[in-house]
Amino acid sequence: MAYMIIITLIISFVFFCCFFRNKNGLPTNWPLVGMLPALLINTHRINDFIIELMQNSDLNFHLKGPWFTNMNFLFTVDPTNINHVLSKKFENYVKGAKLNEILEPLGEGMFNTDSSLWRYHRNVAQSFFNHPKFHHFLVDVTWKKVKVYFHAALCEALRLYPPIASNLKTPTEPDILPSGHRVNPNIQIVFHAYAMGRMKSIWGDDCNEFKPERWISEQGMIKHEPSYKFSVFSSGPRICMGKQMVFTQMKIIAAIIIQNYHII
Ligand code: HEM
């Protein structure tokens, strides 16, 4: 008898879910469990799921977990929001207590700190990265060995396959994003670089195609995209310090592979 009741309850729950499911392709925020069912069903295809969320929600989506978990995320791939959080209102957004806990094994280095301690680390590292000798070395190595198309192909690979798929920020004070979303210290804002690289409204209808040409201007030069649109290296005062160096490294490695292997 007990089995019958359990089975009836499960079937009723499934029917209930199907009937009251959101028709706009977005997850339903169920009482108690929030959007957890949609997350669980899509765990095996999480990045594609986030792309769909972003497409169906006009680039911003508020994802809520079960009431007892404090899971409260604003997913955004909206360039105006990214510019707002990472540059214009930089001082108001930090990594936040939850992310600091995850990054704790890294100690109090540049990746894991905010405000004055981060500023100190950044200034020390910047004096090395900005040293004229280091800069000349990079420019020499890069431009003597490679052509524009090579650089464009790497940008295109990073757009479609960003090594850091997402990044988090938390506001220290309540704020309103350019999209109109209200945020407060209880929310984590997720910038999803993987989904952002695959948005038609940002990169055009051919956004899923590998097309290095999109990075080359009519004059045959590299077309620079603002970092809040091509956000693979983050944006604003905390933009990746190794951005230039990593392009040099990737070009050297690619040149060596092309020279030594027959690529089919
Ligand atoms: C393709 C390779 C790389 C990608 C996609 C990448 C991406 C990023 C991203 C997204 C951030 C922001 C992280 C955050 O806000 O928490 C970052 C920060 C940083 N990256 Fe990279 N990175 C790459 C390679 C490198 C390399 C090779 C170096 C050093 C030689 C480097 C040095 C740094 C540093 C020092 C920061 C911290 C900046 C700060 O917090 O002020 N990165 N990187």
DSSP 159-217: HHS-SS-EEEEEESS-EE-TTS-EE-TT-EEEEEHHHHTT-HHHH-TTTTS--GGGGB-
Alpha carbon distance 233, 239 (integer Å): 6
In whole angstroms, how far apart are CA 65 and each of 17, 22, 115, 175, 177? Answer: 16, 16, 30, 22, 22
Q: Whose CA is nearest to atom 6 of ligand 1?
A: 233
Answer yes or no: is the C-beta of 246 below 6 A from any ligand 1 atom: yes
CA–centroid distance, 227 to ligand 1, in Å, is 13
What pLDDT is attached to residue 129? 83
138 Rama sector, left if φ>0, alpha if ψ -120 to 50, beta otherwise: alpha
The ligand 1 atom at the shortest distance from the C-alpha of residue 246 is: 27
Return the CATH number at 100.
Answer: 1.10.630.10
CA–centroid distance, 95 to ligand 1, in Å, is 14
What pLDDT is attached to residue 135? 74
Average pLDDT, whole number, for the chain? 90
Answer yes or no: is the C-beta of 157 below 6 A from any ligand 1 atom: no
Domain range for 129 is 2-260
**Low-confidence winner among 28-42, 137-151, 238-252 (lowest mean pLDDT):** 137-151
- Model confidence over 223-255: pLDDT tens digits? 999 999 999 999 999 999 999 899 989 988 888
Domains identified in the chain, total number: 1
3-state class percentages of the chain: helix first, strand second, coil last, to nearest 5: 55, 10, 35
Residue 15 reports pLDDT greater than 70: no
Beta-carbon contacts of 34 under 8 Å, excluding residues fewer than 6 positions away, are 64, 65, 66, 67, 69, 71
Q: What is the pTM of this model?
A: 0.84
- Model confidence over 155-180: pLDDT tens digits? 999 999 999 999 999 999 999 999 99
What pLDDT is attached to residue 25? 78
- From the number of C-beta atoms within 10 Å of its C-beta (0-12, 13-18, 19+), residue 256 rates as exposed
